[in-house]
Amino acid sequence: MNKLKINLLLGLAFFVSAAIPNPPDLGVGSYVLYEPTTKKVLVSFNADEPVQPASLTKLMTSYVVADYIKEDFISLNDAPKISIKAWKTEGSRMFIREGKKVPVSELIKGMIIQSGNDASVALAEHVAGSEENFAYLMNGYATELGMENTSFNNATGLPDPLNVTSAFDLALLTSALINEFPEHYKLYSEKTYTYAGIKQPNRNRLLWRSDIFDGAKTGYHSQAGYCLVGSAIRGDMRLVAVVLGSENDKRFNDVSALMDYGYRYFITEKLFSEAEAIKDLQVVAGVSDSVSIGLKEDIILTLQKNKRDNLSFEVSAGSQILAPINAFDKAGTLKVIDDENNVIVETDLVYLDSVEELGFFQRLIAILWNWIKSLFN
């Protein structure tokens, strides 16, 4: 009886030690911690709640501009003439002047590093003719990215009840910006920028806290509160954290706390590689006696660190196959199963090579011989 009690207590102690704590209690309007490679939400609170994002809006302005450059619709060397509207735009500014021609490359730096509202309007007008037309483009891109709780009405993030998004949508947008426009995204790690003799620091203080942080954007106005999107990379694992409706200095601590939690308790790992042989099958009546089966693409998962070794794998495929065989035809399925017996990945296995069939008589003999052998198995 005492031995049974000891075993039960040991089992309970193991269970408790294997559990991870609850995520940090931030006391903010909404937040999300997101792993962009596997598209996994690690922790969240009110992540789909639409709110005004303030200058985090400029992440979409930046995304649209980067795509227009990629498509050769505009160029970094273009020098649009600054309009009265752009010049008079309130809030944080790059201090461009009406009537002056400013290169797109300079305006992008002013928007990203200095959070210039004037630069954002100037870029919007250069891309679409007006800020209103540009907002229409922004919403089209938001739809393509799957930002379901987003509606943009300006390029700056200045107060507007029709300019809303969510923490999760901002994580999607930031991830797309990083993955699709890596050279453009590098500007988010620049700590200062000087224009017209005025040197301004990047408002993202995370850049000074740790080398793991490489972007992305701060935002504030009275309706939105203090907002922050931060991105970090440690080893091969990138995380994106979004905090909305926080307090001034606290938002940086909030994002840091989320990052610490994510990197401490989670891991992103490649379980299988594209074209990696998972199993060999016997080939009947083929010019080769066997063929390997594997995956068309990598399997990468984000998991709690203490659950990695509890995964199991189930391969469903025949033991032999009759030639001819075409490479990349479906050969079976692979399931990845967690410690609670949930199937977390199910994907096709494919033949990694083609195998031609033998000539008619050789094929006939091979099939007959295989049938004879099966009688004794």
Annotated catalytic residue within 44, 62, 83, 115: 115
Angle of the 104-112 helix axis to the 58-70 helix axis, nearest 10: 150
The single residue listed with the structure tokens 């507007």 is: 160
Task: Note every long-range contact of 66-72, with CB atoms under 8 Å and residues 24 or more positions apart, other chains counting.
Answer: 66/177, 66/180, 66/181, 66/184, 67/141, 67/180, 67/181, 68/127, 69/104, 69/184, 70/181
SS3 369: helix
Strand partners, 5: none
Annotated catalytic residue within 30, 55, 166, 256: 55
Which H or E run includes 79? Answer: none
User: Are the CB atoms for 312 and 282 separated by under 8 Å?
Assistant: no
Annotated catalytic residue within 58, 166, 175, 217: 58
SS3 327: coil
User: Are the CB atoms for 355 and 288 separated by under 8 Å?
Assistant: yes
**Is the backbone peptide bond immediately before 159 cis, with ω within 30 degrees of 0?**
no
User: Are the CB atoms for 94 and 110 separated by under 8 Å?
Assistant: yes
**Residue 217 is a catalytic residue:** no
> How far is CA 126 from its chain centroid?
29
The alpha carbon dihedral of 271, 275, 276, 278 has a sign of positive
3-state helix, strand, coil in the chain (%, to 5): 35, 30, 35
User: Are the CB atoms for 89 and 110 separated by under 8 Å?
Assistant: no
User: Are the CB atoms for 296 and 328 separated by under 8 Å?
Assistant: yes
User: Are the CB atoms for 28 and 245 separated by under 8 Å?
Assistant: yes
**Is the backbone peptide bond immediately before 216 cis, with ω within 30 degrees of 0?**
yes
**Residue 120 is a catalytic residue:** no
**Residue 30 is a catalytic residue:** no
- Residues marked as catalytic: 55, 58, 115
